[in-house]
Amino acid sequence: MHDSPALPASTALAAEPPSSWRDWLSVYSVALGAFAFVTTEYLPVGILPQIADSLNVTVGVAGLMVTVPGIVAAVSAPVVLLGAGRMNRRQLLLLLTLLLVIANLISAVSPSLPILLLGRALVGIALGGFWAVAIAAAGRLVNAANAAKATALIFAGITVATVFGVPLGTFVSTLFSWRISLALTAGLALLALAAQVLTLPSLPSSEGLKVRTLLAYLSRSNALRSMLLLGAVVAAHFAAYTYIAPFLGQQAGFSPSAITAILLGFGLVGMLANFTMAGTITTHLRASLAAVVLLMVIAQLALPQLQGWAVSLAVLLWGVAYGAIPLGVSSWMQLTSPKLPEASSAMLVTTFQVAIASGSLFGGLVVDHTGVASVLWLGAGVGLLGLLVLLSFGVGKAPIAESLQR
């Protein structure tokens, strides 16, 4: 898998001892943390109806469970990188994972929506900080020759969480309650914390992100357009996907168990698409990214018109598209400013989270005012905007790195 937002800046190939099994265990402990974080972030997607009924709020208001951590994570990603100073990165990762445990426990026992959203805000702080630090730390856990593989393994937690974490949480909520699902994510985060305590080596802080470097990145027009591209494509997905469970239940008439199966299928085909299309995206990034965004738009436009098995097929096609999208947009962002990898990494995390938050927020407003099917039209419209931004970079065959660099 290659959908890591940014690879380590330094990949010196000087002779080094091979990475030990202890080194790889530390990588897997951070990957387990990634699985816990992504499962926590996306879990509400499958249980919004139950949460809305339990707290006596609308589905759109319950969607703030996705919006709030996205907004907070968008801010915390660069802030943690800028403010961590000389703190040992091992200690920082442990603190962020511990914060995730606490946040999930608060969410699970919350008696009201404000307390629930407080827990989700804490999730956002931990989430943004974790990705900002994990991206930089990945290549330090093993030798330089294995840095890219280590980064890929850590970000494999995204795919595994999409495939198994969210559907599993949805399944548990149907058997017991949404509170039990959130409590299980706290247990998962605690397991990741224990693994990190046992395996993570000391990671003394190296030179971190500077404000001037971040400002230099943001001064580049191509970087800003790339952020707009990333934001539009991701927002297009989450504006609609956040409310896919209510759509499948209310509009398409599927049972809770059928919804769980469809969400599992979405994740499985997405995982296959991610691995299958890695080579294509690497060699033909423009065309591949345009194709999968267009496929997502077509699926979103088609869904309100379909019934029965055709709905399931359209959702699976959407899964194929989104399975390749994180790989495509992260590769694009890497190539936007290859000489400013930490700035690119921080702004990728920030833009991704802003897109999740804004997509779910505006999707919730549309759901509450015009119905759950309308949110699919919103997603498709924003997706078309992303395609227009992509086309603004041209359709030639020049490598992205050459065309995006100044």
Is there a single domain that holds both residue 247 and residue 171?
no
Query: Is 8 a domain residue?
Result: no
Domain count, the chain: 2
Is there a single domain that holds both residue 58 and residue 193?
yes
Whole-structure pTM value: 0.74
pLDDT for the residue 312: 92
Query: Is 181 a domain residue?
Result: yes
pLDDT for the residue 273: 79
Find out whether 139 and 15 touch, Cβ atoms under 8 Å: no
Residue-wise pLDDT tens for the chain (406 aa)? Answer: 333 344 444 444 445 667 677 888 988 999 899 899 988 988 887 788 888 888 888 887 888 888 888 889 888 888 887 877 678 888 899 999 999 999 999 999 988 889 999 999 999 999 988 887 887 677 678 777 676 667 667 766 776 776 677 777 778 887 888 899 889 999 999 999 999 999 998 888 766 667 787 888 888 888 889 999 999 999 999 899 988 888 998 888 888 888 888 888 888 888 777 777 666 666 778 888 899 999 999 999 999 998 888 999 999 999 989 888 877 787 787 777 767 766 777 788 889 888 888 888 899 889 888 888 899 999 999 999 999 999 888 776 554 544 444 4
pLDDT for the residue 342: 66
Query: Is 69 a domain residue?
Result: yes
Final residue in a domain of this structure, among 181, 208, 235: 208
Final residue in a domain of this structure, among 155, 182, 208: 208
pLDDT for the residue 396: 64
Is there a single domain that holds both residue 226 and residue 198?
no
Is there a single domain that holds both residue 242 and residue 277?
yes
pLDDT for the residue 301: 95
CA atoms within 13 A on the CB side of 275: 10
Q: What is the 3-state secondary structure (H, E, C) of the chain?
A: CCCCCCCCCCCCCCCCCCCCHHHHHHHHHHHHHHHHHHHHHHCHHHHHHHHHHHHCCCHHHHCHHHHHHHHHHHHHHHHHHHHCCCCCHHHHHHHHHHHHHHHHHHHHHCCCHHHHHHHHHHHHHHHHHHHHHHHHHHCCCCCHHHHHHHHHHHHHHHHHHHHHHHHHHHHHHHHCCHHHHHHHHHHHHHHHHHHHHHHCCCCCCCCCCCHHHHHHHHCCHHHHHHHHHHHHHHHHHHHHHCCHHHHHHHHCCCCHHHHHHHHHHHHHHHHHHHHHCHHHHHHCHHHHHHHHHHHHHHHHHHHHHCCCHHHHHHHHHHHHHHHHHHHHHHHHHHHHCCCCHHHHHHHHHHHHHHHHHHHHHHHHHHHHHHCCCHHHHHHHHHHHHHHHHHHCCCCCCCCHHHHHCC
Query: Is 164 a domain residue?
Result: yes
**What CATH number should be reported for the domain holding residue 285?**
1.20.1250.20
Is there a single domain that holds both residue 232 and residue 179?
no
Determine whether 220 is exposed, middle or buried from the number of CB atoms within 10 Å of its CB (0-12, 13-18, 19+): middle
pLDDT for the residue 7: 41
Final residue in a domain of this structure, among 190, 208, 226: 208
Angle (CA) 162-168-169 rounded to 5° is: 95
Is there a single domain that holds both residue 186 and residue 221?
no
Is there a single domain that holds both residue 201 and residue 237?
no
Query: Is 11 a domain residue?
Result: no
- Spatial CA neighbour of 104 closest among 116, 94, 96, 112: 116
Query: Is 2 a domain residue?
Result: no
Is there a single domain that holds both residue 133 and residue 265?
no
Query: Is 7 a domain residue?
Result: no
Is there a single domain that holds both residue 249 and residue 371?
yes
| Rounded Cα–Cα distance for residues 216 and 194 (Å) | 39
Q: Which amino acid is residue 157, in one-letter code? A: G
Is there a single domain that holds both residue 23 and residue 123?
yes
Is there a single domain that holds both residue 115 and residue 176?
yes
Is there a single domain that holds both residue 240 and residue 165?
no
Two tokens, residue 26: 């530390």
Query: Residue 296 belongs to what domain range?
Result: 211-406
Query: Is 217 a domain residue?
Result: yes
